[in-house]
Amino acid sequence: MDFILEIAKTAWAEFNYSRSLEDNLVVLKTEMQELSSRQSDIKNALNTVEVMQAKKPKGEVSLWLENVEKITREVTKIEEDSRKAMTYFSLSRLALGKLVVEKIEEVVKLKEKGPKSEGLLADLLPESGSMPMVKLVGGMTAEKNLQRIWESLMDDEIRIIGVHGMGGVGKTTIMTHIYNRIKSSGLFGIAIWVTVSNDSNIRRLQNGIAREIGLELSNEDNEMRRSMKLFEALKRRGKFVIILDDMWKPFPLEKVGIPEGNAYKIVLTTRSKNVCRGMQCQKKFEVKVLSREEAWELFKARLGANMVLSLEVERIANLVTEECGGLALGIITVAGAMREKDDIREWRNALEELKCSTMEIEGMDDQVFPILKFSYDRLKSERIRSCFLYCALFPEDYVLHEKVLIKYWIVDGLIDDMGDWEKEQDKGHTILNGLIDVCMLVRKYEGCIVMHDLIRDLGIGIIRKSHRFVVKAGMGIRGSIGGEEFTEEIEKISLMRNEIEMLSGQPNCPKLTTLLLQENPLSSNISHEFFNRMNSLRVLDLSNTGIEYLPESVSNLENLHILLLNGCKRLREVPSLAKQKRLRLLDLSHTGIKEVPHGTECLIHLNELHVSSAEEWVACNSLLLPDSIVMLTMQRCELSSLCCLSRLQHLRTCNIQFCSMKWLLPIGDDITIMSLLSIESLFLMDLPNFRGLCERVLLPGSFACLKLLEIRKCPVLKNLMSLELFRHLQCLEYISITRCIEMEEVIGGEEAMVEGGDNNNTILLPNLKELYLGNLWKLESVCKPVLICPSLINIAIMSCHRLKKIPLSLGNSTSYVVGNVVGSKDWWDALEWDDPNTKSLLQPFFKEGHGMKRKAQDVASTSSRQ
């Protein structure tokens, strides 16, 4: 009877869900309107207060806003589904009725938890650090210039300072020293550095300043409102200094949004004294070329301290220095080209070349460019010169990732095909380092390089004479582009960072190897036949464009090596890639595609694959991967498992995020062989169903090369791997496991202990340098054996309140360890230790609390394409 009653209750409930669907949809819509209004109020308050106080939202505020966005999408989907439920008592209608009631409850709870208008913001937004220090060149003259500029900054009556001089004379170097002195002095609230460049406008200048102070302006198109927001944000910062490096034309400060008043200082560098006049500089300083003595000292320093010149060579070297005309950049580049040269015949030839060299390029200084071209001519081979010229395809002041640039060089044929991707990259790094050594390129940050704007101008001038390149990057080109830019002799075209709406026609470009079109709207898309006559094309970059589809003609690009579509959020599908047998890099990250292109499994030379959706999950359950894959990134993918992953014996980096997979290596996969022999970096994050590396035992040798392991936000993961597998991970350098709320044990299982011996009671991890465990609320054990980690230098254990034992022995290398251990005092006192020395070592790093704060650098970025 009770059973029948329960059935009746269930049936009645479902009937009510269905019958009340329309009424409940109205209620849901009303509740959502109120929630959206609350969301709008919070955002408006944030925008106002954030600008006024230069702070960032609290984490709980950001999370609430994310949850509102999420439920808004879900409710929109429910409303769409409700229109499709045509039958009154259809199953979909019953399910919808129940779902609507659940969503009403969720919306009401979100409204109740909504943050108050006060207390929305927390810590100050981050400021940039000091700039890499470049040695000040020019002896006493440069020191005097630096001191005079500094004294003017300290003068309360002076607001705008101009520093002018010819290109390459050392203005930026002086200002780098000024910037770092401002940062360390504490005399100003903030110091802001913006490189202005030749193609800048007010919008770009505003963006540069806003980026430095953490102000979001990307969603604001109105120039006046942008100016007002920037004005208020700067004004609230108190005293500040803005350094505008490399200005080519004056800008009205009030239009930019820079407040008036002598508390706010502006220092600008420019090649033109007229710009100083136009900016109404109250103090103007000219940076002049070096004296003969200063030039000679700089030249000798750049040759190297170990360089000993004979008297005759030294005489000629002095004459070579004089030919540089006191220009610091010229002296540095020429000295770099002559480093380690001791043959007097080479020096005589160098002097003759400098005397005879000419650069007939309109708008270029006829004294500067012959000096710079000398260094270009002295590059060892035509291939290295071509690698240098390739860098000029990118806009002025563009920061190039070294790894990306080298990939371009390789696939464009500028580096010999060695049949080994790693060897080719090594050759590329050798060429790159050589160009840096002779000052043709500059390393801006670790892994990133830039071209000095004069050096880039030199490259553009050489390119222009060859008639084989078209370089119109960042020039504000609008509308449609077709045959006029694409001629039969062209080999490389760069039209990136423009306002191009459409690519039209069917250009005949049989020699074209590189086509850079990234960061253009392309909202009117590409003509279907556009790529039909580009049979030599190797590099196609359409990243961060507004394209909705790729024309079928892309399928015929059989020589294509690199296809970049990342950031194309409107892109819904990609035609078959089955013919692209030579494709090495395919980037489909942050696109709108719903499934991986047909033919991906045929890409037998594919080294890198990046797949992720900007909105929905990409269907990848039937995805087959070629075993040539070296780097794999999959985000927001419908992925129960990765078929054949164990057979990817060349895979080195694997990054999987926001996917539905349960096991990295599924049951049906071939585990009779050692799996993932070459993998070095493994990042598994935001995987709601992930349960472990493999359901079965893997053969010894699997994961043997693994160095970096990061696991984050895997809420059902209880233990990561077996003890047997863990014993073989001798290359591990970094382990981070955080926010896995169900994890009870990192390394699962026990092995039989050997009587009379300790071999199985310990695990040696000779290379482990960093260990992080955080927000593992159910973690009771790391592993049963003691971990001997003689190389450990960073350790953090936070919010692991059930952890009973820290099984670490740090050997003798204890003086270099730094740590951060956070938990309750009772927890710390109750911890068991296998090595008392470890407790003594970590005692100074213990802090009573509950938060999670990682002190070490986030290495997850190493999984990016760069």
**252-267 confidence digits (pLDDT tens):** 888 888 888 877 889 9
User: Does the pLDDT at position 250 exceed 50?
Assistant: yes
Structure tokens at 34: 């109120």
pLDDT digits (tens, 9 = 90+) for 711-758: 999 999 999 988 888 988 999 999 999 999 999 999 986 543 333 344
- Give the pLDDT confidence score for residue 83 in this predicted structure: 64
- Give the pLDDT confidence score for residue 632 in this predicted structure: 93
DSSP, collapsed to helix, strand or coil, labels residue 694 as strand
- Over residues 21-37, the mean pLDDT reads 77
User: Of the ranges 66-80, 259-273, 662-676, 833-847, which one carries the lowest mean pLDDT score?
Assistant: 662-676
**DSSP one-letter string for 21-81:** HHHHHHHHHHHHHHHHHHHHHHHHHHHHHHHHH-EEE-HHHHHHHHHHHHHHHHHHHHHHH
- Give the pLDDT confidence score for residue 496 in this predicted structure: 93
- Over residues 507-523, the mean pLDDT reads 94
Cα–Cα distance between 705 and 724 in angstroms, integer? 16
In this structure, the number of other CB atoms found within 10 A of the CB of residue 378 comes to 19
pLDDT digits (tens, 9 = 90+) for 629-666: 999 999 988 877 666 677 788 899 999 998 888 888 86
By CB neighbour count within 10 A (0-12 exposed, 13-18 middle, 19+ buried), where does 621 fall? middle
**659 contacts 631 by C-beta, under 8 angstroms:** no
- Give the pLDDT confidence score for residue 749 in this predicted structure: 62
- Over residues 65-91, the mean pLDDT reads 68
**What count of Cα atoms within 13 Å lies in the side-chain half-sphere of residue 643?**
9
**781 contacts 805 by C-beta, under 8 angstroms:** yes
- Give the pLDDT confidence score for residue 222 in this predicted structure: 84
Structure tokens at 744: 């009870």
- Give the pLDDT confidence score for residue 93 in this predicted structure: 57
- Over residues 545-564, the mean pLDDT reads 93
In this structure, the number of other CB atoms found within 10 A of the CB of residue 310 comes to 12
Among 187, 244, 192, smallest CA distance to 214 is for 192
Angle ∠(423,584,437) on CA atoms, nearest 5: 40
User: Does the pLDDT at position 504 exceed 80?
Assistant: yes
- Over residues 453-475, the mean pLDDT reads 85
- Give the pLDDT confidence score for residue 123 in this predicted structure: 44
- Where helices occur in 247-310 by DSSP H, the ranges are 253-256, 273-278, 292-303
**What count of Cα atoms within 13 Å lies in the side-chain half-sphere of residue 651?**
28
Q: What percent of the chain has pLDDT over 70?
A: 83
Q: Residue 663: beta bridge partners?
A: 692
- Give the pLDDT confidence score for residue 742 in this predicted structure: 94
Most confident stretch, 1-5, 49-53, 827-831: 827-831
- Give the pLDDT confidence score for residue 95 in this predicted structure: 66
User: Does the pLDDT at position 208 exceed 60?
Assistant: yes
Cα–Cα distance between 158 and 641 in angstroms, integer? 66
Strand pairing class (190-195; 240-247): parallel
pLDDT band, residue 577 (cuts 50/70/90): very high
pLDDT band, residue 817 (cuts 50/70/90): confident
pLDDT band, residue 86 (cuts 50/70/90): very low
283 against 695, higher pLDDT: 283
Write b or e for each residue in 814-829: b if 16 or more Cβ atoms lie within 10 A of its Cβ, otherwise e. Answer: eeebebbbbbeeebbe
User: Of the ranges 6-10, 13-17, 499-503, 592-596, which one carries the lowest mean pLDDT score?
Assistant: 6-10
- Give the pLDDT confidence score for residue 232 in this predicted structure: 86
pLDDT band, residue 133 (cuts 50/70/90): low
**65 contacts 35 by C-beta, under 8 angstroms:** no
Structure tokens at 488: 């039969």
DSSP, collapsed to helix, strand or coil, labels residue 728 as coil
- Over residues 411-426, the mean pLDDT reads 86
**What count of Cα atoms within 13 Å lies in the side-chain half-sphere of residue 769?**
8
User: Does the pLDDT at position 389 exceed 50?
Assistant: yes
**793 contacts 823 by C-beta, under 8 angstroms:** no
Q: Which amino acid is at 55?
A: K
- The answer, as to whether pTM is greater than 0.85, is no
Share of the chain residues as helix, strand and coil, in percent rounded to the nearest 5? 35, 20, 45
**CB under 8 Å, gap of 24 or more: what pairs does 846-852 form?**
846/821, 846/822, 847/820, 847/821, 847/822, 848/822, 848/823, 848/824, 849/822, 849/823, 850/799, 850/822, 850/823, 850/824, 851/798, 851/799, 851/822, 852/738, 852/774, 852/775, 852/798, 852/799, 852/822
- Give the pLDDT confidence score for residue 780 in this predicted structure: 92
Structure tokens at 266: 């502006």
**432 contacts 447 by C-beta, under 8 angstroms:** no
- Give the pLDDT confidence score for residue 501 in this predicted structure: 92
User: Does the pLDDT at position 837 exceed 60?
Assistant: yes
666 against 201, higher pLDDT: 201
Backbone region of residue 268 per phi and psi (left: phi > 0; alpha: psi in -120 to 50; beta: other values): beta
72 against 857, higher pLDDT: 72
466 against 94, higher pLDDT: 466
- Over residues 113-129, the mean pLDDT reads 56
DSSP, collapsed to helix, strand or coil, labels residue 364 as coil
260 against 540, higher pLDDT: 540
User: Does the pLDDT at position 375 exceed 80?
Assistant: no
pLDDT digits (tens, 9 = 90+) for 145-197: 889 999 998 888 899 999 988 777 888 888 888 898 888 887 887 888 988 87
- Give the pLDDT confidence score for residue 611 in this predicted structure: 93
By CB neighbour count within 10 A (0-12 exposed, 13-18 middle, 19+ buried), where does 33 fall? exposed
Angle ∠(300,305,307) on CA atoms, nearest 5: 75
Cα–Cα distance between 855 and 818 in angstroms, integer? 10
CB within 8 Å of 305: residues ≥ 6 apart: none
Among 727, 729, 685, smallest CA distance to 707 is for 729
Cα–Cα distance between 696 and 289 in angstroms, integer? 71
